[in-house]
Each structure stands twice: as C-alpha cells, then as structure tokens.
Structure 1
Amino acid sequence: MFSNKQIFVYDIKDFNFIVKSCEENESSFDNILRQTWKQAEQNKIFRYILNIKDSKILKGKYKFLAQLNPDRTQYRRAPESITSMVQSFNSTRFNFTKLTQQEILFDIGNGDTNDIIAINSSPLEQSHCLFLAERLKCLPQIMTEYSLCKVIELCLLSNSWSLRAFFNGLCALSSVNHLHWHLYYLKYEMLLEYIDICNYVSGVHLLIEYPAKGFCLKLSDFKNIEDFVSRAFVVVNYLQLRQMAHNVYITRAKSKSNDELYNDVRIYIWVRKPFTGVKNITAILPGVCELFGHLTISDETVYNNLTQDDIINLLYDITEECFLLIKDELKNILEK
C-alpha cells in the first residue's frame, strides 16, 4: 500500500536560496530523492540501468553538452502520438495513474498520492524522476500555475546547484499527455546558468545571444516566489492560449562563470515549431534539454561527428521564426 511510502513535508524555512558549487551537503530533499531513486534502480524498476557511455562538451562558445545514451532509445516506452495543443487526457492510454507502487518514490505533502515524485523509467541522468502535480485530477500536459509553483519550491529544497527541472509541452516533444515535470541532477556547468540576457519588459528578459532565442525570468527580480511564478505563468499561459508549442527549463544561476555561489534561479521559456505525431526517438529531437544545451545522443556515429554548428542550426531552425512572431505581441500583453 502507498501508506508504506515516505511522505515529504516542508515549509519555507527549508528553502535554499543560495548554494555553493564546491560543496554537496545534501538537504533532506536531496537525500530522500537520491536514496529512493537508487533503491528503485537496485530493485530493477527502470527499463534499463543508466549507462551514459560517454560525455563531451562540444568545441565552441556555447558549451553544448553531448551524452551518448543508446539504451534510452532501445528500451524506452513508446511515446504517445500528440496531434494537438488542446489534446484531451485519454484514460485508455498510458498515464501516471497506472504507475506501479514500486515506481512511486515518495509523496509530497499529505500522503494522498496526488502530488508525488516517481521514477522516469527511461532516465537521462542521475536521479532523473518525475514530479506529478495533482496527478489524480488526470490533467493533460498543459502547465498549471500550481505545478509551476510547486516545482520551483522543489528546486529550492535542494542544496545542490545541479538539480534542474524541465517541462516539454504538447507538440513540444512531450511523450505522455498527463501533467508532469522532470527533475534531474546535471553536474555540468552550463552556459545558460550565467549567459547575458537583455531587458524586455518588467520581470521578463530576452535570451538572444544564443541559437535558441527565448524568454527568461530571474527570481532575484521579484520580492517573493509567488510573484516570480505568477509572472512566468503569464508568459506560459499566453502561449498555451495561443496554442503555440513551448518548452520550459528551470536552473540555478550565478552572475558569471567563475562564481562559487549560485544565488539565483532562472526560468527559460521557449516558443518553438510544433511537433506532431509519434516522435522518431532515434533522431536528435530538440526538446527542452536540447534547447538548454544538454543533448542525449543514441547513435555512436552521430555522437562522434557532432559539432557545435550542427546544434546551432537545429536550435535556430525550431525557435527563430516563432520567437520573432510572438515577441512584440507578448510584450503588449505583459505591459498591460
């Protein structure tokens, strides 16, 4: 029964607003996440044991990270066919009410199994798991302000600079049409932790010195978490109402590359060309991790021959047109 699962309860005093890159003193949230994930791995609950065969930073100023993980393509669950930004939840397809008890790591909050952390059965990286917000409501993969707020709080519960969160929307490489966020530890310094961003409108910046142009919000610009979340959700929800495909990535941030302290949190939001149908999992598909600069490659020949220019062209192609289309329109909305 689920009553045997741990229940993680927290409040604001448990948040870590500043973390150090040089030390990994686990918070209680890090501890329960890593331990339950490792136990699930030992119990062979995953579709494969995580085995990243090689990792490299591609030469060039963008510091793209490429990782060779052929098992993910070979063993992962077949992705759902996504055909619309307003596709309804389908109870007959795989969804997160069908998880086995072994796949559920722990409960967030009150033990009602509504907000939970579960394994991602085909992991990209260490402790790759899913945050399932209001799971029992059977919501489609359309972001809610509640889920965004909760996932920001989970990030702040960590004492690690490397815990990241991300969201693939409908027609933006999401594989399951049931509301979920991804969490994982990515222990590589990434350019988007500190890249320069440009002023746009109050509380929202533009990411333009990068092949995947998009929008960025920083926690340090706001008085509290609620205002940060509310402003970010205005951007995301406008894209949802306009039925424009989008991806969202949340990361710890710092002022410059050699800073020891991560003293900020950034939310990146990309509007992008829609992808419909069943995705070809053997190709390099630009989901949110790829937009952030983290590339999972299944084919060794592709991995060996990959260059920064290849990725620049890929990211530019799926974001440039949509970004230019929405930039002025969104500004009018945000200024109201």
Structure 2
Amino acid sequence: MAATPPKPNQMQELKQTLEARWTELHNTEGIFRYQLTVERERITEGRFGFLLQLNRKRTTARRKPDFMANIAPAFDPDLFNFNKIKPVEILCETRVGDADVSFLINDSPLTRYHILVVPDRSRNLKQVLTEDSVVVAVSLMFGFQDRRYRLGFNSPGALASVNHLHLHLMFVDHELYVEDAPLVPLSVEKLYRLDWDHPAKAFVIVSQDFTSPQTFANQIYKLIGVFLAHNIAHNLFLTWNRPETVLRALVYPRLRPCVYKQASPFNVAFCELSGFVPLGNESDFEQLDERLLGEHFLEAQGEDLYGQLEQMLMDEL
C-alpha cells in the first residue's frame, strides 16, 4: 500500500509538539544523562568549513554502545533496546505513512531537539532500514520544511550504537558542505555522487517534488538495498540544499566496517561525514583540520570507494 502524503498542518503541529516536549524534559532534572552544553564551537579554515563543537559530556556520560559483529545482527531482547526506556522518554507517538512511529529523547544529545525516530517500536526490528522507515524519514523532512532539521541513520558496522531500528532527527543551524556540493551524474537515472576531492564519499539522490514521499523513499531504499545485498555498511543523511528547493539523500558506504563504537572523542558516523563534528576532547577540538578530517574519513570508508562500487551500482540499479 502506498503511504499517504503527510498533511502540512499536521506535520507542523508534530514539529511544534516535539520541540515543546523536548524542551520541557530537557529542563527537568534527572531525565537526560546531561544538560546539553556546547562549550566551544568553531568552523575549520578551508574549502569545506566543517562545524566543530566541543561537548565533553557526550563522551563521559553516555551509555556504553553495543557490540555488533555484522551489518544485520539479529535483534536481541536481552540487550538494551527502545522498549526498555522509561515512559517519560517518549515525546509522542503517531502514525507516519504506514508505520507507527515513536519519537524518543536521545538522553545523550548532540544538538537541541536531538530526537530518536523509532518506526514500529514494538516489532523489535533490527537496525536495518526498511522501506517504511525510509518513508518515515522522507515524510518528516518533506513535512517539516525546515533546513535546520537533518535526519540520519548509522547501520551496524557504520557506528550504530543500538540494534533496534532508529534514526536520528537533529537540529543544526549551520550550513554543511554536502548540502551545496556539486554533484556528478552517473549513468543510472537520478543517481549522483560527490566529487572525488570531497572529504566524504557519498552516492546521492535528490528530489524537488515534495508531494510523494513514497516515490523518493523508493529510490533511496533501492540504493541502500544494493549495499545490504553485498553486506556493505552505510550511513544515510537527509538534508536540504539552499534555499530549501532540493532535498538530498546522501548514502555513505563503508568498505571498512567498524563493529564496535567506542565512547571515544572522535568517531566517524553520518553527522561527521556530512560536516558536523561533535567532539569530546579539547585537544581534538583545537587540532583537527580539514586535512586530518579527510584522513579519518578515508580510513573509515576505505580507499578507491567509487572505483569499487560505481560499476556494481550500474549493474544492479
């Protein structure tokens, strides 16, 4: 069944509800692991202008991430999952497309309104994107129509922390380099990639038609399905270009999967690859530049990524 497009007024009401409830809970003692505090912030010098933020509590106070040995581990009810949270952590629950969606606080936030989007929470789905979950993500972006909201996903092997299907809704009031980066068209219709000289490597799908989240979600899910079929870890990032005329879906493949997300000062997940780099260590905050960040990304994603994957996509999409 095709998902019903969200009504603009309903999505705006949802956004207002989430923001108000998040603010209320964040101001209530004992619900979040820490009060969000960005101690310092700077933009890297150079072509790409990465946003670096120092948030030491994210490193010292967050829950220990889970071990994941492959990109589709079976759901384990004995491990932490989003059915074990306190009821007060639920911001609201509603239906988006064909999924019942729980909006939860991230109790170790990186940004204001950092919210976990959990489709069909009671079904105990592993941390692997489904078509319905991609429709949810696209519907939220279409409905919110606010460039400050971004939506991301980390697969197992690409820095996911919890093996229970969820995405991250984040509020970042800053322009990110991937939003207006020139795109290289590929021979598959509507498929692009970032240029070779960009720090992160991503395959990109764009949409200027905001009436059908199902159509755009199908295109994204088809691309992700190729990576799943070949056991390739990946990150997904949904963001707007300027001035909010095109929605971009960037999929970052990972040829070098990381099976364990250490609570270390610097990890490479969807937000870092996209130009937003939260840090827990002051020396990293002071010393990281675009060259070093590019080296971290290369190590995380693997060398000659486009050379290894473009033909595979041409053959299978």
Give, in whole Å, the separation in 1 of the partners of 2:299 and 2:15.
Answer: 37
Letter in 2 for 1:161: R
Of the three residues 270, 279, 292, the one matched with 1:297 is 279
**2:208 paired with 1:226:** no
Report the CA distance shift for 1:277/1:171 in structure 2 as closer, same or farther (over 3 A): closer
What is the match of residue 315 of structure 2? 332
Give, in whole Å, the separation in 1 of the partners of 2:200 and 2:315.
Answer: 22
What is the match of residue 273 of structure 1? 255
Letter in 1 for 2:67: S
CA contact (8 A) 1:140 1:178 kept: yes
Give, in whole Å, the separation in 1 of the partners of 2:293 and 2:209.
Answer: 31
Residue-by-residue CA offset, 1:24-55 (whole Å, 9 max, x unaligned): xx932321111010111122311000001011
Letter in 2 for 1:61: R
| Per-residue deviation, 1:222 | 8.8
Give, in whole Å, the separation in 2 of the partners of 1:116 and 1:316.
Answer: 35
Give, in whole Å, the separation in 2 of the partners of 1:277 and 1:54.
Answer: 30
Of the three residues 8, 12, 33, the one matched with 1:14 is 8
| 1:165-244 equivalences in 2 (<5 Å) | 165-200=151-186, 201-208=188-195, 209-220=197-208, 224-244=212-232
Give, in whole Å, the separation in 1 of the partners of 2:90 and 2:110.
Answer: 18
Give, in whole Å, the separation in 2 of the partners of 1:267 and 1:210.
Answer: 16
Residue-by-residue CA offset, 1:245-281 (whole Å, 9 max, x unaligned): 1000000123xxxxxx311110000111344443222
3-state secondary structure, aligned to 2:60 = helix
Report the CA distance shift for 1:302/1:188 in structure 2 as closer, same or farther (over 3 A): same
3-state secondary structure, aligned to 1:115 = strand
Give, in whole Å, the separation in 2 of the partners of 1:218 and 1:237.
Answer: 17
CA contact (8 A) 2:159 2:259 kept: no
Letter in 1 for 2:251: I
What is the match of residue 35 of structure 2? 49
CA contact (8 A) 2:201 2:305 kept: no
Give, in whole Å, the separation in 2 of the partners of 1:116 and 1:170.
Answer: 21
Letter in 2 for 1:278: Y
What is the match of residue 78 of structure 1? 64
Report the CA distance shift for 1:15/1:328 in structure 2 as closer, same or farther (over 3 A): farther
Q: Give me the TM-score of the superposition, normalised by structure 1.
A: 0.87
Superposition CA RMSD, Å = 2.0
What is the match of residue 245 of structure 1? 233
**2:91 paired with 1:138:** no
Give, in whole Å, the separation in 1 of the partners of 2:15 and 2:145.
Answer: 7
What is the match of residue 39 of structure 1? 24
Give, in whole Å, the separation in 1 of the partners of 2:9 and 2:313.
Answer: 32
| Per-residue deviation, 1:114 | 4.1
**2:153 paired with 1:162:** no
| Per-residue deviation, 1:314 | 1.2
Give, in whole Å, the separation in 1 of the partners of 2:296 and 2:209.
Answer: 31
3-state secondary structure, aligned to 2:169 = strand
3-state secondary structure, aligned to 1:102 = helix
Give, in whole Å, the separation in 1 of the partners of 2:129 and 2:248.
Answer: 17
After the TM superposition, list the runs of 4 or more consecutive aligned residues in structure 1 that deviate by more than 6 angstroms.
none
**2:87 paired with 1:105:** no
Letter in 2 for 1:34: E
Structure 2 unpaired stretches of 5+: none
Letter in 1 for 2:191: V
3-state secondary structure, aligned to 2:7 = helix
**2:297 paired with 1:315:** yes
- Percent of residue pairs bearing the same amino acid type: 27
What is the match of residue 73 of structure 2? 87
CA contact (8 A) 1:217 1:268 kept: yes
Give, in whole Å, the separation in 2 of the partners of 1:273 and 1:187.
Answer: 31
Give, in whole Å, the separation in 1 of the partners of 2:236 and 2:16.
Answer: 25
Letter in 2 for 1:202: E
Structure 1 unpaired stretches of 5+: 1-9, 17-25, 255-260
| Per-residue deviation, 1:158 | 1.4
3-state secondary structure, aligned to 1:109 = strand
CA contact (8 A) 1:271 1:323 kept: no
CA contact (8 A) 2:142 2:213 kept: no
Give, in whole Å, the separation in 2 of the partners of 1:131 and 1:270.
Answer: 20
Larger CA deviation: 265-274 vs 276-285: 276-285
CA contact (8 A) 2:257 2:300 kept: no
| Per-residue deviation, 1:164 | 0.4
Letter in 2 for 1:203: K
